[in-house]
Amino acid sequence: MRKEVFESPIGESYVKAVHPSGLTVYIMEKPQYTSAYAVFGTKYGSIDTKFSKNGGETVAVPEGIAHFLEHKLFESEDGDAFTRFAKTGAYANAFTSFDRTCYLFSCSDKFYDNLAILLDFVQSPYFTEQTVSKEQGIIGQEIKMYDDSPTWRVMFNMLTDMYHNHPVKIDIAGTVESIAKIDASLLYKCYETFYNPSNMFICIAGNVDTEKVLKQIEGGIIINAPVTIERGEFNEPEEIVKPFVKQSLAVSMPMFCFGYKQKIKTPDRSLKTKVCMQLLLELICGDASPLYARLVKDGLINDEFETEYFNGHGYATVIFEGESSNPERVAELIKEEVERIKSDGIDKKLFSAVKCSMYGDAIRRFNNVEEIAMQLIECAMCDYDLFEEIKLLKTVTSDDVLRRLEFLDNDNTVLSVISPKEG
């Protein structure tokens, strides 16, 4: 494998290796730890409902198929991967998000046995019409469960009223109607496109030996011809669908999700923009901001309040979410604060304090192998250097952050509210 070593000023280092198949591998050794965490992932998520392979015709597949494929991949003719992991004492799981699917395990013993299981089942698809039909019922129940989940619905209601055509507005699991259209042949078509090693990555952190891991991966990867994937475009307008949506569910206090839709068809996904947007959110409504103090003092938010810069292929949204007795007032005050910062600029003292806090958080993440593995996934997805964030937090300026404020248009927002059911 072709290898490259990255080192940081804080004494950490990791290896990036590229397998002949195109698979990228990221490994950070933490010999002082007793555990290890490994992820085998693909750049394939719920928004990939239109695509072409190697310049061929564009294929449209049912919504929810990436999540469906994640479920089915654990099964084989000989049983399921969870049973195999249970015998080694490892914790195993998987997740599908908007732009990726990841299979993972963590363990404190038998790491190489567990890695062998991971390499095997992710590369051994087994689908039949009978097993697909059975899974449709299982996932159908999961979809219905999420339909009644306030935390799930408050976000997807916002996305539905924010995006006209982009599949980011569709539940990651799809709908009961869409998954009914999935069959074994479609699953194999998606697998053969997106589960090609050239579109995949392995991220490992913990008490492992890099050379031993690379040797095991080199012998365990099935080499196929690399593929070229062209992801679909969805003709998404810049404007939102409508600014307000409300639903009643079983909650004790109203929940809200307030978002700004970014008016850019191809959002900048650079790490610098991500860091600047995180800084900006802290300045607007982070723990140390004047607005946060006011919202808490007035009893308008509680410890559930969070902010996020949420972006991917063809979408970008700034989100404020939490619980409030008056979500409309919270949204109004956030808008006022955005306009105030646009007019008055950034408080230099607050900016310095927020930067220092984020720098400390970035350093502390290297004390947790799961956190490291999750960061390595971001490196694989966006071709980041794991230590670039630390460097940026030293050099980014208030003007860099202020320029990103133009992404926040108070006329292009959506407020989603989940209110308590009467009685």
Examine the fold and report which residue of 231, 254, 277 is the final residue of a domain before the chain moves on: 231
Amino acid code (one letter) for 229? I
Question: What secondary structure does DSSP assign to 51-93, as a single string?
Answer: EEETT---EE--TTHHHHHHHHHTEETTEEHHHHHHHHT-EEE
Please report, for the domain that includes residue 200, its CATH number: 3.30.830.10
CB 206 within 8 A of CB 88: no
Same-domain check for residues 227 and 254:
no
**How far, in whole angstroms, is CA 113 from its chain's centroid?**
28
Residue 239 lies inside a defined structural domain of this protein: no
179 and 318 belong to one structural domain: no
pLDDT at 76 over 90: no
211 and 293 co-located in one domain? no
Alpha helices in 250-368 (DSSP H): 271-285, 290-297, 327-344, 348-364
User: Which residue range is the domain that position 43 belongs to?
Assistant: 2-231
Q: What are phi and psi of 207, to 5 degrees?
A: -80, 80
Number of domains in the chain: 2
Q: Would you place residue 234 in the very low, low, confident or very high pLDDT band (cuts 50, 70, 90)?
A: confident
Query: Average pLDDT over the chain, rounded to whole?
Result: 95
Residue 142 has pLDDT above 80, yes or no: yes
> 350 and 226 share a domain?
no
What mean pLDDT comes out for the span 338-345? 96
Question: Are 32 and 181 in a shared domain?
Answer: yes
Q: Is residue 236 included in any domain, yes or no?
A: no
Region 285-311: mean pLDDT is 96
Looking at the structure, tell me whether residues 167 and 300 fall in a common domain.
no
Q: One-letter amino acid identity for 343?
A: S
pLDDT surpasses 80 at 72: yes
Question: Which amino acids are annotated catalytic?
Answer: 70
Domain-terminating residue out of 206, 231, 256 = 231
pLDDT at 266: 74
Per-residue DSSP letters for 124-183? Answer: -----HHHHHHHHHHHHHHHHHHHT-HHHHHHHHHHHHH-SS-GGGS-TT--HHHHTT--
Question: Do 309 and 226 belong together in one domain?
Answer: no
Q: How many CB atoms lie within 10 A of CB 83?
A: 11
* Residue 187 and residue 65 in contact, taking contact as beta carbons nearer than 8 Å: yes
Instruction: State how far the Cα of 313 lies from the Cα of 122, in Å rounded to an integer.
Output: 25
Tokens read off for 406? 């133009």
pLDDT of residue 9 exceeding 90: no
Residue 7 lies in a domain: yes
Residue 52, in any domain of the structure:
yes
Where a domain ends, among 231, 254, 282? Answer: 231
Q: Is residue 31 part of a domain?
A: yes
